[in-house]
Amino acid sequence: MNGHVFQCFNKCEDKKHFLKTVEALGEYIAKKLKYTGDMLSLTKDFVKPEIPKPTELEVSETNRLVIAIWEKKVSAYCTRTDYLDSNLKTAYAVIWGQCSEAMKAKLTSLDDFEAKSHESDCVWILKEIKGITYRFEGQRYIYLSLDNARTTYYAYTQGAKDSISSYLEHFCSLVEVLEQYGGAIGENPGLLNSTAAVLANADDATKRLKIARDCTLALAFLKRANCCRYGTLWAGLENQFSQGNDQYPTNLTAAYSLLVNFKPPKRDKPRRNLRSQERAVEEEDGMTFVQASEVIAGADGVTHTHVTCFRCEHKGHYANKCPNGPNATLLQTEAATAVTLLQASHTEAIVAADNTNQEVSHFTFAQLPSRHELIPSSWVLLNSQSTVSVFKNPNFLTNIRRSNSQLKVHTNGGTQILLLVGDIKNFGTVWYNPDSLANIFSLAAVRMLCRITMDTSVEASLCVYRSDGSIMKFIEYRSGLYYHNAAAAVQSNSNENVIDYSFVSTVANKKAQFPRREIEGADKARVLYRKIGRPSQQQFEQNLAMNLIRNCPVTVDDHAKRALLIYGPDVAALKGKTTKGSSQHVPTFNPVQVPGFILQHHSDVTLCMDIFYVQGHPFFHTISRKAQFRTVPPVLNRNKATLLREIKPVLAMYKVQGFQHL
């Protein structure tokens, strides 16, 4: 059965596992057994196959043809009955053999297993397997089994990738399991009373129950269809019913046809408006100005404005993406905590547009209290949004001292007072704050001392040209920061542009990788390769591997792993076995006019002439000064008439191009 096995509920992940196995069972019966048409009801409807008996002949029947046909039918009936009994036993054995060990254990624990197994009841075993597959074992408490059957039936919905046909098959299976364990569909008194109005004979309980069951199944099948694909269909049916037009299907076939023929309406493309664009901009990654509501992006760089983190109690991110979490580092996440502009200074004053004195504020990165180092201390950042330079690594500074003034820093993490300053070689004095987020150079301050360039078509970096002629490059990190790694610069002793070199691999360098004995073996392999006529590499290695050369001291490793690596492919073999390629197409010659500025400034042409020989054949050579144009026609001799005949076309060619004086 192509590997199909009846599994228990907790052993199979495919919802259609039971149906696929039954389908494989039907294919096996159709191929291996005789009179398989009588077995269709077993795998299609789980009903025991029955062969209709031929009708009895009347005693007064004397027609010999009718009697012969009747006898043939009786004989065929007996034959089919015998084959049916044999086929049922065979099918039972196949079904039992295709059950897993867990399934067999559950079946043998059933009360009527011995009797049903002795009868080879295929219908019984298939229904029990179906119940176990859908988690309704007969050994369980009947009330619990029935409740589980109802729960599964009401909770089932069509999957996003399920086709309508597979959805119908699984839905019918759940209905059969529910009814197998005594669950009734459509027997609610309210449903039965509503069907009495559409029947002429209201006392016919069987018809009323059938109508109620069909309508209930049709509605359930339609309701459990995928809401994303058929939501508009369901809404349309409700709207039609509210207007007095009942279009709900009355049976399962009509509901299936309704889903198959449904075509969803076309949706108009959503219009883009400014509000949506503004909302998208607010939640983009990157650097923002300080937020009064303390909105901080998560470690993934995404900002959720209305979300409050229960870890740090700040808005803007979830707890699992908290930048202050135990695993939050700049190098481990694609985007670190969003950095904001912040620091304010009370040391200076500027005149505003209305001529009123206001305190000037120096800005740099937000100094967030954190237990982890988000930015390495060896990095130096170049920030265009900072008006003051602040360093936290004392190794960059000399003469760290107390400043005559103080810098008061207002941040979303609190207030800091900076009292220390230090000196940086070739730059000057910067503020020193060991609690700072990073070492920060102000772009405005750096450009006053050095030239700064940036060409994004070449590289995403800022190049600072220092006074000693060296280049300090600030490279863009994936989070958007421009940094210079001082630790890497110290190791390389230079911060200049790296130049790519192409190294030549020599034979001596290759031989240095092997000992003397292996090099001698490679030399012997190359000599033997030439002596036997330079066969293909594959043929040569095959001859060595199969010992076709008697008493050969060369091994496959000598040739395949060492000779080819040291010396490369044999040059003579490459030249002798390389096929001639097709010749290149000769392009059409298109003469180019002499540029106007040459004719304007070099209209006088001095023509130099001479004769030279190539293997005894004379050639008449002319070249013009300044223009440097040559002509080399072959000549038969050096007679005057011959040379005059060759000079005339040369002179005519110069005149055609526009040269006046020759």
Length reported for the chain: 662
Among 161, 174, 162, which Cα is nearest to 220's?
174
Collapsed DSSP state (helix, strand, coil) of residue 434:
coil
CA torsion angle 317 323 324 328 (round to 10): 140
Q: What is the pLDDT of residue 266?
A: 67
Amino acid 645: pLDDT: 92
**What gap in Å lies between CA 348 and CA 328, rounded to an integer?**
37
By 3-state DSSP, what share of the chain in percent is helix, strand and coil, each rounded to 5? Answer: 40, 15, 45
- Which of these, 55, 56, 49, 57, lies nearest to 80 by C-alpha position? 49
Q: How do residues 209-264 score in pLDDT, each as one tens digit?
A: 888 888 888 888 888 888 888 888 888 888 888 888 888 888 888 888 888 888 87
Token pair for 144: 């619990």
Q: How many CB atoms lie within 10 A of CB 622?
A: 18
Which helix (H) or strand (E) covers residue 526, if one does? helix 516-531
d(CA 166, CA 159): 10
Task: Please check whether residue 62 is in contact with residue 56, taking contact to mean a CB–CB distance below 8 angstroms.
Answer: no
Name the nearest CA neighbour of 428 among 386, 397, 395, 383.
397
Residue spans of the chain under pLDDT 70: 9-16, 134-141, 180-181, 196-203, 266-295, 297, 299-301, 311, 323-374, 409-415, 468, 488-505, 559-560, 589, 661-662
Report which of 362, 256, 372 is spatially closest to residue 325, judged by C-alpha positions: 372
CA–CA separation, 122 vs 115, rounded Å?
12
Predicted confidence at residue 274, as pLDDT, reads: 42
Asked whether the CA dihedral 647, 650, 654, 655 is positive or negative, the reply is positive
d(CA 301, CA 338): 7
> How many CB atoms are closer than 10 A to CB 39?
23
Are 343 and 363 a contacting pair, CB within 8 Å? yes
Contact 429, 423 (CB under 8 A): yes
CA distance 380 to 616: 75
SS3 291: coil
d(CA 238, CA 529): 87
pTM for this entry: 0.33
Non-local (6+) Cβ contacts of 84 within 8 A are 35, 38, 39, 49, 51
Count of CB atoms situated within 10 Å of the CB of 341: 17
C-alpha distances (whole Å) from 599 to each of 43, 268, 500, 662 are 98, 67, 45, 13
Distance CA 352, CA 345 (A): 16
| Whole-angstrom distance, CA of residue 107 vs CA of residue 487 | 72
- CB atoms < 10 A from the CB of 291, how many? 17
First to last CA, the chain: 99
In three-state form (DSSP H/G/I as H, E/B as E, the rest C), the secondary structure along 534-560 is CCCHHHHHHHHHCCCCCCCCCCHHHHH
Angle at 125 between CA 121 and CA 126, to 5 degrees: 115
What single-letter amino acid sits at 400?
A: I
Strands 390-391 and 428-432: parallel
Tokens of 186: 């459509």
- The Cα 472–Cα 469 span in angstroms is 10
- Give the CA-trace dihedral at 168, 170, 171, 175, to 10 degrees: 130
Distance CA 619, CA 637 (A): 9
Contact 592, 616 (CB under 8 A): no
Dig out the tokens for 31 from the structure. 């191929």
At 140 the pLDDT is 59
In 3D space, the residue among 624, 633, 609 whose CA is nearest the CA of residue 661 turns out to be 624
- What letter represents residue 576's amino acid? G
Token pair of 236, please?
């349309």
Element (H or E) spanning 617, and its range?
strand 617-624
Residue 407 bridge partners (DSSP): 418
Residue 462: φ, ψ to 5°:
-110, 125
For residue 295, what pLDDT is reported? 64
3-state secondary structure of 121: coil
